[in-house]
A = this chain, B = another copy of it.
Amino acid sequence: MNLREITGPEALKKVPAEQLNELCDDLRQAMLTRTAAHGGHVGPNLGFLEATVALHRVFNSPVDKIIFDVSHQAYPHKMLTGRMEAYLDEDKYDSISGYSEPSESPHDHFVIGHTSTSVSLACGLAKARDLKGEKYNVIAVIGDGSLTGGMAFEGLNNLGEQGGNAIVIFNDNQMSIAENHGGFLGSLQKLRETKGADPCNFFKALGLDYLYVDEGNDVHKLIAAFEQVKDIDHPVVVHVNTEKGHGYKYATENKEPWHWSMPWNLETGKMLQEFGESVHDRTAEWLLKRMETDGTLCVINAAVPIFGGFTKPRRARAGKQFVDPGICEEHAVAFSSALAKGGARPVWFVASTFLQRTYDQLSHDLAVNSNPAVIVVCANGLSAMNDVTHIGFFDIPMASNIPNLVFLCPSSEAEYFAMLDWALTQRARPVVIRMWERGNTPATIPVATDYADIGKFQVAHRGKKVALFGLGAFFPLAQEVAAKLRKKGLDPTVVNPRYAGDMDEALIADLANDHELVVTLEDGVIAGGFGEKVARVAAAHGLKVLVKGAPKKFEDRFDPKDLLTRAGLTVEKISADVLAHA
Contacts and interface: CB of A to CB of B under 8 A. Distances in A.
Interface of A: 102, 109-114, 116-117, 120-125, 127-132, 148-162, 181-187, 199-202, 204-208, 235, 295-296, 298, 320-321, 323, 325-326, 328, 330-331, 334-344, 346, 356-361, 363-365, 367-369, 388-389, 394, 397-398, 400-404, 501, 525-529, 531-533, 535-536, 538-547, 552-554
A547 B156 CA distance: 45
Output the residue of A123, A526, A541 with the most chain B CB within 10 A: A123
Given A151-B334, A182-B160, A334-B124, A364 B113 contact: yes
Given A125-B342, A501-B527, A183 B154 contact: no
A131 B320 contact: yes
Query: Which 5 interchain pairs have the tightest Cβ spacing?
Result: A160-B183, A150-B150, A128-B342, A183-B207, A124-B338
A183 B202 contact: no
A328 B157 contact: yes
29 contacts: A102-B369, A110-B337, A114-B364, A121-B365, A127-B338, A132-B295, A149-B150, A150-B150, A150-B153, A154-B331, A155-B335, A157-B183, A158-B326, A160-B183, A162-B323, A183-B235, A356-B360, A357-B360, A359-B360, A368-B388, A368-B554, A394-B401, A403-B552, A527-B533, A532-B535, A532-B536, A535-B539, A539-B539, A541-B544
Given A326-B157, A539-B539, A122 B532 contact: no
Contacts of A535: 532, 535-536, 539, 545
Given A128-B341, A161-B182, A540 B545 contact: yes
Contact of A114 (B204, B326, B360, B525): B360
Contact of A200 (B199, B339, B539): B199
Contacts of A148: 154, 157
Contacts of A536: 526, 531-532, 535, 545, 547
Contact of A363 (B121, B356, B526): B356
B132 A344 contact: yes
A527 B125 contact: no
Given A186-B207, A532-B536, 7 more contacts: A116-B150, A128-B340, A151-B361, A157-B183, A184-B205, A184-B207, A357-B360
A422 to B, nearest CB: 21
A142 to B, nearest CB: 13
A540 to B, nearest CB: 6
A284 B440 CA distance: 59
B117 A361 contact: yes
B403 A389 contact: no
Contacts of A545: 535-536, 539-540
Given A131-B295, A154-B325, A344-B131, A544 B552 contact: no
Output the residue of A159, A344, A365, A533 with the most chain B CB within 10 A: A365
A226 B363 CA distance: 33
A207 B200 CA distance: 10
Contacts of A204: 187, 200
Output the residue of A116, A130, A398, A525 with the most chain B CB within 10 A: A398
A216 B293 CA distance: 47
Given A120-B338, A338-B120, A342-B124, A154 B161 contact: no
Given A161-B183, A206-B202, A540-B544, A121 B337 contact: yes
A158 B327 CA distance: 10
Nearest to A302: B154
